[in-house]
Chain A
């Protein structure tokens, strides 16, 4: 390449007016073994630029797919738990009822049980009414108080006169 041409390019280059293509030409020229001695300092400049282009980023990029916790799954889990709950609870209730109230196959035994429980109820009921009897005493007391009223009547008659 003609040296004149290079010098022109360098001047343009320093004014920031060169195109990328022209800069490529310059880089190419200065990557040669020998350049004009008065342009020696440009050589180191352009070799630096070219050399620096080779540098690479070697570290790997730790790309983590961000695990955003999906709250949908909580609903799914809750439903599953509920379903399981109903499923296991149903038979337990029926067995409990059978155990609690009992069904008697033998009518005599049933009658027995009924009279027994009815007797228990009536005895407790009687106990209750016997305690209510004390209220009669209160009535008796009130009747005696009635006499006091009569005394008052007579005294008022006396004082009137």
Chain B
């Protein structure tokens, strides 16, 4: 496997302080490798977006990072901890090294500015010495790259369709050639035809420009198709991480299995599906032990009391996968 570009180590994120704090992300460790698409799946409230905002230090108050490290490996320099950067360094780091495409990106464009202004704004902020001419040229080039005709430079966001606005957002994220692009539900508001076009284009761009992607969504079937590895979150923790095809064919955690069984298939035999009983947990009142145990069909003695540790399972073919479940205890748990 190629070298890591972003390493999250034991990250904890809380909302609020003191006794009433809600633990949204608990002890998450995750590694993104160079050139890889890492899928992050989970339901609403599982902490997947909080994790993305936490590692880019974009958390709005009352969100607080209470522990852990986010180690970034630049292409040439030595690695450093993003969480320890000074404000000035952080401003340089953001967008140039990691860019983020937000949830509902269609509404993240400023409606009173032309898209050319919004595209060149980034360049002006990060490279004040750049001439206006070359800024515009770069913006044009970017639009062409994401499949929008450059003569739409002077359009306002409302003159573009949802899919085009989403393309502009992706182009904007890539304009400084970041190493890491975080996409938070980039296509949920779009129709399936548009979704496929945009994702197909993104994969193509990734091959050409060589950035890595953290792709956050609740649509697991989309992730299986488009990502290399998948991490599944539940109740603020990662419960399983494995290569995409392994998750699809042989998921170990009952929650992953349940999620996969929640999508009716378009092809193949028609099966009776059940989804997962119960509802996602409330972060303020998280169940003890494994937070999935009240909904888990296979829960047994240790589940309500002890939190399972994420580790390579001892019983299955453990190549490159980890799981946090007492059914498949990690090696060091024994």
A binds B: no
Binding site for B on A (CB under 8 A): none
